[in-house]
Amino acid sequence: MSTTIQKLDSIGEKITDYLSPLTIKEVRQSLKGKLFLSSFLLGIVACLIPTIGFAASGSSVLGPSAFMTYSVIMFIGICVIFPYLAFSSLHEDRLNSTFELVGITNLNSYQLVWGKWQSSLVQVSLFVSSILPFLTYSYFLRGLSILSILGIIVVAFFLSQIVNLLAILAASLSHLKSNRLTFYFIFVFFLAGGYSISIGVHASIAAMRGGVADFLNNFWSNSDRNSLLIAVFIIEWFLYELAAGQLAPATANRSSRCRYSLFALFSLILIWICVFLVQSTHGVSLYELSYFNYVSVAILICAVFIMGESDELSQVLFKKYTNSRGASSAIYNIFFIPGRSSGYFFLMGILFSYLLVYIAFGSNMSFLLYFSNAVFWLSLLYLINILPYNKYLTAPLRRTATIAIVAVLLFVPTIIFLFLDNQAGAILNYFNPSFFKSNSHLSEQTLLIGNAISAVVLFLLCFIRIRTSKKEIQTVRKFDAGERGATQ
């Protein structure tokens, strides 16, 4: 008997050899921790109490309401509490410098992020399996198909993985002295909010055309949406690289892979614009226009990073490439060589492509409408950029006043519009937070003026960014010169 157990034990040991060391550590740690256990038990208790109520009441079809209760508990658990636990443990590990020591083992930082993510998957699975009996119970209370139950679980699971990844990113970016909880919620709120807004815009447009069902049915078949998915994937890739870069020691190349992802994104954008220009001869649909939201998001992510990347991010590369400043290597420099000075060229590139699109569609009002969303995205990214937590995107304007202004610009009009308008367009209004949108009571002229203002704000923000980084660029140049002088 004992030999079988020993055999099983050694097989178990062998299996763990193939798992990420970090996953094993995290799972061990969390299973021993009070936080995991208490949230686990709390989830079960929270499910048990209403269950007693359902059992006591005599009515016949309770399925949907029971299911609602349980799934809310599940969502809170796996999309809010567990991601926070992941965030908290990574923050903790960085704080007690375990990660610094792990950084000089044979594990690289990509494996760290990956292992962390896997471990959150394990924890979420455990939690879901503890809720599963209740969900099954709600099936027996009738009124639900097994498919819809499974569907919700799958969606919740998928969503929780995204939130977990965001939490890991947040933890790798957070300033160690900052208040953990505040930072976490700001970061995840903005990024998760961003995702849901972008999906919401699409859903609402689809709702205007043929209903949400139509939107969902066509989601996987439409080639445009495939490229949208690719874009989202690339952005996630970029964020993943950023997290890994942040966790890697100074001797690692922390920049190139971030920039590869940006290059991929930029190429995708170019293809997009070209396709769009070709298609536009046959008339442009509202759908296609809305993609410019994503184009602007993507470009802005590139811009903020490329212009804002600190030299600290990759001193290794910086040491190697300080001499390559020729005109022929300009394009290469933009994407692959760290250092803010290359951002100028990048910015010019963006301005040029915007100009191109304006020339092509300047007369199309609805296009401009969607284009104005860029201001929202820019503000969002800018906000993230100027938050004092960020180590690698330099923080030139940290004054709380700026944050407050941006917040007011973003949310107050949104909230006003939400209460003003209760019709079908309300959702669209909500998801398009700029002042100027296609409300029936706004004339096209107002829209035009609004967009003009949006554009001015956009360029103004870029301008401020350049101004504030000018000084840093000078120090970079000085460093450059010193470097070369010393090595020659």
In the complex, the residues that contact other proteins under the rule CB under 8 A are: 13-14, 17, 21-22, 24-25, 28-30, 32-33, 92-93, 95-98, 100-107, 249-252, 315-316, 319, 483, 486-487
For residue 122, give Cα distances in angstroms to 79, 94, 115, 133.
14, 22, 11, 18
Instruction: Please report how close the Cβ of residue 96 comes to other proteins at its closest, in angstroms.
Output: 3
Task: Closer to other proteins by CB, 96 or 217: give it.
Answer: 96
Instruction: Please report how close the Cβ of residue 384 comes to other proteins at its closest, in angstroms.
Output: 25
Instruction: Please report how close the Cβ of residue 204 comes to other proteins at its closest, in angstroms.
Output: 45
* Dihedral, 292, 296, 302, 305 alpha carbons, nearest 10: -160
Q: Where are the alpha helices (DSSP H) in 280-364?
A: 286-308, 315-321, 330-336, 343-361
Task: Closer to other proteins by CB, 88 or 439: give it.
Answer: 88
CB-based contact 335:416 (threshold 8 Å): no
Sign of CA dihedral 17, 21, 26, 32: positive
Task: Closer to other proteins by CB, 144 or 168: give it.
Answer: 168
What long-range pairs does 204-208 form, CB within 8 A, spacing at least 24?
204/427, 204/428, 204/431, 205/286, 205/287, 205/290, 205/428, 207/424, 207/427, 208/286, 208/424, 208/428
Closest of 263, 261, 260, 256 to residue 316, by C-alpha: 256
- At position 223, the amino acid (one-letter code) is S
DSSP string, 167-179: HHHHHHHS-TTS-
Q: How far apart are CA 156 and CA 76, in angstroms?
A: 10
Instruction: Please report how close the Cβ of residue 148 comes to other proteins at its closest, in angstroms.
Output: 38
Instruction: Work out the number of other CB atoms within 10 angstroms of the CB of residue 468.
Output: 15
CB-based contact 262:342 (threshold 8 Å): no
Instruction: Please report how close the Cβ of residue 180 comes to other proteins at its closest, in angstroms.
Output: 14
Half-sphere exposure of 368 (CA within 13 A, CB side): 25
Q: How far apart are CA 249 and CA 101, in angstroms?
A: 9
Task: Closer to other proteins by CB, 5 or 52: give it.
Answer: 5
Provide the token pair at 43. Answer: 């989830």
Closest of 246, 201, 216, 230 to residue 110, by C-alpha: 246
Task: Closer to other proteins by CB, 209 or 320: give it.
Answer: 320
Question: Residue 237 burial by CB count (10 A; 0-12/13-18/19+): exposed, middle or buried?
Answer: middle
Instruction: Please report how close the Cβ of residue 479 comes to other proteins at its closest, in angstroms.
Output: 8
Question: Residue 199 burial by CB count (10 A; 0-12/13-18/19+): exposed, middle or buried?
Answer: middle
Task: Closer to other proteins by CB, 28 or 399: give it.
Answer: 28
Instruction: Please report how close the Cβ of residue 74 comes to other proteins at its closest, in angstroms.
Output: 25
Task: Closer to other proteins by CB, 87 or 371: give it.
Answer: 87
Task: Closer to other proteins by CB, 131 or 248: give it.
Answer: 248
For residue 341, give Cα distances in angstroms to 100, 322, 323, 414, 485.
30, 12, 13, 36, 20
Instruction: Please report how close the Cβ of residue 117 comes to other proteins at its closest, in angstroms.
Output: 17
Instruction: Please report how close the Cβ of residue 25 comes to other proteins at its closest, in angstroms.
Output: 4
Instruction: Please report how close the Cβ of residue 257 comes to other proteins at its closest, in angstroms.
Output: 15
Instruction: Please report how close the Cβ of residue 31 comes to other proteins at its closest, in angstroms.
Output: 8
Instruction: Work out the number of other CB atoms within 10 angstroms of the CB of residue 420.
Output: 13
Task: Closer to other proteins by CB, 181 or 404: give it.
Answer: 181
